Structure formats: structure tokens, C-alpha cells
Structure 1
């Protein structure tokens, strides 16, 4: 059974800043590029063709959109102590795509937690480390701006590595 996820891999002119912080604070930085998760990892026997058709159908009327990220926030919960790069423009588009993708064939994989679109900068193993990382990263005043026009499907490999299995272009 494959473990897959659906994500946006934004590209910014100042990606080096994101890489700098993720290398320090995100244990997944060596396995997956900076991303915004739309559908969280799920295990399914669904074929890639069937999943691609579902995605294509749900994205049919979704247009490319501008994404702007700025500022950081702390999000400790039962899954970890997360440090997020906050989305200040484009959040409503991401939320709409998230909701559409989790309908019909993927509905059974939706978790009950409220969805907050974000880009993870870190996942720390204690609140104390999260607080210190937050103080470090919060001095960064960079703005990250791009246009989102592609949604990617990732399969998580045997060592946790990211294997892109398909990409879906949004309409112009």
C-alpha cells in the first residue's frame, strides 16, 4: 500500500532563507523540499491513475494564484511543536483546494483537525526548543512571493524520501 500526499512546492527568489531555517529546525528538510500540504499523508491502494483523475476533476476550475508568506508562528499540538511560515495572501485559495481534494474519493482520509495553510519551518522535540527557535526565526523580516500554478502528488519512499509521481497545472 502506497503512502502519498498532495502538496504545493512554492519557489521563491529567496529560498535560501527558508532552507537555512529548515536545515536547523525541520527534521524532514533532507527528505522533502519546502512545501504546503494540501492532503496529508494517506495510505491507499487507489491507483495513481484514479488519484490523478480525482485531482484533475477537482482542480478543473482552479486558477493560478499569488502566494505571499511573511512572519512566523508557533503551533504546539499532539503531533509536534511546529514553527510555521505564515501565509498572508493566497490562504483562501489553498483552503479551497484542500476542501475540494478531500471530497469524494479522498474524503475518508480527512482528519478532524482544523486546517491551517502554512509552510513548516520546524518541528522541535520540546516547547522550550520551539520557543528558542521562534525567537531566532522571528527576527527574519523576509517576504516570500510567488505564483502557484502546479499541484504535486508525492509518494513517500522507503527511507521517508519524497518521490514526485505526478504534477497538475492550474489554469491560467
Structure 2
């Protein structure tokens, strides 16, 4: 059974990428395993073939065009040790893709009703709640305005060591 997820890798400019990675390096336990991303389908285990998963994702992705997202505030689920940059511009499109993917039989059983979906880029996780709250407070002392072009949706295999191996990528035309 393979462990996979469906996600977006924003095309940040090099300066913004460096800022995000600097924060993640100190605060995100997955920093070394996967680059900054927005999850569309949270990690799931499935016996479905790669072809079936790819065909399902492609059937949704072909309905969307490339777009720009903007991240401009730091929030999180601090009680559970998570901190993220919230997507403001582009959030509606991301939510539509997310919802359409979870309507498919391949992903419907994995829908997380316990987590309200909010498009974001995680910059801190596995933190003590007090550390997470302090990080949000500290980072919100600065103004955030990061934009990125979204041109594709990817499917990853999550390896036993938590590394991300891209299975397929589909362009938003």
C-alpha cells in the first residue's frame, strides 16, 4: 500500500523562497523532506495504482488555469504545534480544486472532516504549543506579502523516511 498526497508547489521568487525556507529550517520537522507546498489531498494510504490516481487528479486539474496566490498573514493550529502562512488571494481556487478532488471515489474515503480546510504553506510543525504561539506572534510583527505563480498540481509518494518523491505533475493551462 502506497502513502501519497496531492499538492501544489508554489513558484516563489528566490528571495521569498529563502525567507520561507529559513523559517522552516528552524521550525518545521519536514523541512529536509519536502519543499514548501499547499496540500490539496492530505497524506493517504491506498492500493490504487499510480495510473488510477494520476487519471483522477488529471480529470480535476484540467478544469483549472494557472493562477497567482498571495500569502500575507501568519496563523496556525498552535495548540497542536502548527504554524503557517495563510493563502489569501487564490484561496478560493485552491478550495475548489481540493473539494473537487475529494468528490472523487479515489479520495472521498480520506476526506478529513475533523480539519477545516484552509489553504496554507506550513512553516512550523511539531512545536510545543507555547513555541508555536510565540512564533506566530513574532512573525506577525512583520508585514507579509508573498506571491507565487501556481502552474501545476503534483502527486507525491511519501517514502518511509518521509522524503517526497514526485510521482506526477499536471500543468494548469
Relative to the length of structure 1, the TM-score reads 0.93
- Residues 33-78 of structure 1: per-residue CA shift (max 9 Å, x gap): 000000000000101111111111112221111111112013235x
CA RMSD of aligned residues (A): 1.3
Aligned counterparts of 2:5 and 2:141: Cα–Cα separation in 1: 32
Give SS of 1:135's match: helix
Relative to the length of structure 2, the TM-score reads 0.92
Deviation, structure 1 residue 136: 2.6
Paired position in structure 2 for 1:81: 81
More strand by share: 1
Aligned counterparts of 1:45 and 1:100: Cα–Cα separation in 2: 21
Aligned counterparts of 1:61 and 1:120: Cα–Cα separation in 2: 26
Paired position in structure 1 for 2:172: 170
Which segments of 5 or more consecutive residues in structure 1 lack a partner in the other structure? none
1:95-110 alignment runs, 5 A limit: 95-104=95-104, 105-110=106-111
Contact 2:23 2:123 in 1 (8 A): yes
Q: Which runs of 4+ in 1 moved over 3 A?
A: none
How many residues are aligned here? 169
